[in-house]
Structures are given as structure tokens and as C-alpha cells.
């Protein structure tokens, strides 16, 4: 007598992603997708997650002890992002739920965008475009939207992981910049040499850099890494670029510093409380604002989605995820 086939693992994809990635997942697991990209309430997310063994999340869905308690069948949550501050990793580990993210595949795309955002802020691209579109351009002037140079200046990077090192390489080898950095731990000498970067204290970086770029993960310890005190250390001609996470910068303090001319300009891709943006920032002319799109090239976003799907399918079918955050969960149960 032939036994009935074992039921396949069930996964929930919490936001709309590429249809071909849904098809990729469906070859291995049963998928409940969200093709219309409905923004589910917390209660609705938990309701849909019940009975699922896996979640594919996009960075905005909180996975914590309450959700885990309500979803005892859950075995893995795969973030389609390199950051995972939406995961309570200790709670997931205690519950025996694997967490994965999508590092590596977005490094160069995000580093490119960080440089683009920094340059747009320094050269007053957004401010001048708004002025032109408003019909105010009627003559050339020697000082018309004169900004600051990038080449030959000092680039300060706070956070020196993969993306920080990518930005350093672009500064050193592409623009002849002097690159200084601050990080929780210093890089090995050979890695510093490869990207042409020098380790300094956070205070020295803020005081010396012409352009400061933030690439640190969000944790309670990194909350408001840049606040009023730090902004006061920066040069009045300096720019600040944040492609890390909202909450790394005190947005209210930054808006005040920008409006009062204490720093020259800023470029922000992430915000406290996003997608809402503080109205004080919206009122500043000398800030470039983008809606969390640093990794948003089609090839890179597709690679991020495929990696998240590979983590889900790999773990649920063979026990072999590609990029575990809490690998101590593997082999349990």
C-alpha cells in the first residue's frame, strides 16, 4: 500500500515581490503570497502567519516574542534585506526559529547609491532642480548653487562593513579622497590598505571629515549615533549622508542644524518612523530625501528576493540555509 505524500512546508510572503521568485518558492513549498502588497495590520500578519513554517519578510514586519508565541509552527523568518532590526533575534533563538538575511548581494549597489546621495547633497542637485522647475532661472551667476567638491576632500565613514568598505574604495580609487573611518572594531591592516582607509576616533572623524557617511546597523546602542552634540562637532561646510537605518540620526536635531547652517547639507535615504518623514526635514532646502531606495536596482532587488527564497526553501527542505543570523538554531529539534 502506497503511503500518502508528506505535506509540504507552508510559507507566507508578507509583501509583494517578483512573481518569478514566488514561482521559485512554489517549486519547493506551499506559498501564500501578497501580490497586491496589502499593508497588513499586526493582528492580520499574525493571523496569516499561523500554521506557516516560514515567513519571507522585507524589513518592516516585526518578528518578536508575541508573534512567535502566536505562531508555534514557525521555523524560519527570511529577511529580504541585509539589516534585521525588525527581528528580535534572542527571542527567535529561544523559540528555535532561524533568522536569515540577505548580505553581500546588495553591497555595490548600495555603495553606489551612498556615493550618489552624498554627491547630490554636496553639489546641491535637488535644491537647484526644484529652483529650476519653479521657473526661477533667468541668468548665470558665478555663485549659482555653488556647493562643495568631492574629489580630493576627506571622507569619513562610520560603520566599516561590506558597504562601508565599498564606499571607501570608491572614495580612494575613484575620487582621490582621504578616507577615515570609525567602527566598533578596527579592520585588519591589509583590509585598511585595500580600501585606503585610516582608523580614527568618532570625534576626530566628525571634526575632520568634509563628508560623513553612515553605514552602521541599527541597534539600541547605535540609536542617535548622530545627534545635536555630534552635529556640533562637524564643519559648517560638511555634509552628512545616512544610508543605514532610521534612528541612527536624530532627525529633529539634524533639521535644526541644517536650517541654522551648522552643517552645509545632508542626504537621507532612511528616517525615524518611516515612511513618515519629520516635517522639519521636509522644510529644509539643503537636504536630499529619498524613500529607502539605496539597494533599489532591479538586478539587486531580484538577487535579494532570490536569496531570501533560497534561505527559506533550503532550510525547510534540506536544513541548509545560506545566510543564517543565529546558526545556533540549526540542528535543534
Cite the active site residues.
Answer: 245, 274, 292
Are the CB atoms for 70 and 46 separated by under 8 Å? yes
Are the CB atoms for 213 and 241 separated by under 8 Å? yes
Q: Measured between alpha carbons, how far is 159 from 214 in angstroms, rounded to an integer?
A: 6
Query: Please, where are the H alpha helices in 156-287?
Result: 162-169, 175, 189-195, 202-208, 228-233, 251-259, 279-282
Helix and strand numbers, DSSP H then E, in the chain? 14, 12
DSSP label of 226: B
| Pick from 93, 78, 76, 101: nearest CA to 319 | 76
Which DSSP string corresponds to 298-310? HHHHHHHHHHHHH
CB atoms inside a 10 Å sphere around CB 319: 10
CB atoms inside a 10 Å sphere around CB 189: 9
Q: Long-range contacts of range 44-48, CB-CB < 8 Å, 24 or more positions apart?
A: 45/14, 46/70, 46/71, 48/12
Q: Which three cell numbers stand for residue 188?
A: 585588519
Query: Cell numbers 568618532 label which residue?
Result: 202
> CA of 297: how far to CAs of 110, 203, 300, 309, in Å?
9, 34, 5, 18
Amino acid at each position: 500500500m502506497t503511503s500518502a505524500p508528506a505535506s509540504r512546508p507552508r510559507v507566507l510572503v508578507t509583501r509583494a515581490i517578483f512573481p518569478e521568485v514566488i514561482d521559485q518558492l512554489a517549486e519547493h513549498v506551499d506559498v501564500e503570497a501578497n501580490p497586491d502588497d496589502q499593508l497588513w495590520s499586526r493582528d492580520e500578519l499574525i493571523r496569516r502567519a499561523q500554521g506557516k513554517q516560514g515567513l519571507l519578510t522585507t524589513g518592516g514586519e516585526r518578528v518578536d516574542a508575541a508573534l512567535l508565541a502566536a505562531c508555534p509552527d514557525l521555523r524560519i523568518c527570511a529577511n529580504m534585506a541585509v539589516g534585521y532590526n525588525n527581528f528580535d533575534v534572542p527571542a527567535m533563538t529561544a523559540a528555535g526559529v532561524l533568522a536569515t538575511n540577505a548580505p553581500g548581494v546588495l553591497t555595490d549597489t548600495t555603495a553606489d547609491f551612498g556615493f550618489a546621495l552624498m554627491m547630490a547633497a554636496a553639489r546641491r542637485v535637488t535644491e537647484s532642480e526644484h529652483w529650476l522647475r519653479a521657473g526661477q532661472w533667468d541668468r548665470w551667476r558665478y555663485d549659482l548653487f555653488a556647493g562643495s567638491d568631492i574629489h580630493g576632500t576627506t571622507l569619513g565613514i562610520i560603520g566599516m562593513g561590506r558597504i562601508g568598505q565599498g564606499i571607501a574604495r570608491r572614495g580612494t580609487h575613484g575620487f582621490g579622497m582621504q578616507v577615515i573611518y570609525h567602527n566598533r572594531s578596527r579592520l585588519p591592516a591589509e583590509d585598511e590598505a585595500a580600501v585606503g582607509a585610516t582608523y580614527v576616533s568618532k570625534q576626530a572623524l566628525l571634526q575632520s571629515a568634509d563628508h560623513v557617511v553612515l553605514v552602521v546597523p541599527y541597534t539600541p546602542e547605535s540609536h542617535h549615533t548622530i545627534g545635536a552634540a555630534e552635529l556640533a562637532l562637524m564643519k559648517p561646510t560638511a555634509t552628512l549622508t545616512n544610508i543605514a537605518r532610521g534612528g541612527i540620526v536624530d532627525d529633529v536635531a539634524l533639521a535644526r542644524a541644517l536650517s541654522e547652517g551648522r552643517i552645509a547639507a545632508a542626504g537621507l535615504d532612511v528616517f525615524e518612523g518611516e515612511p513618515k518623514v519629520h516635517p522639519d526635514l521636509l522644510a529644509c532646502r539643503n537636504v536630499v530625501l529619498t524613500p529607502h531606495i539605496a539597494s533599489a536596482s532591479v538586478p539587486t532587488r531580484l538577487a535579494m528576493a532570490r536569496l531570501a527564497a533560497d534561505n527559506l526553501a533550503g532550510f525547510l527542505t534540506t536544513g541548509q540555509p545560506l545566510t543564517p543570523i543565529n546558526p545556533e538554531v540549526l540542528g535543534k529539534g
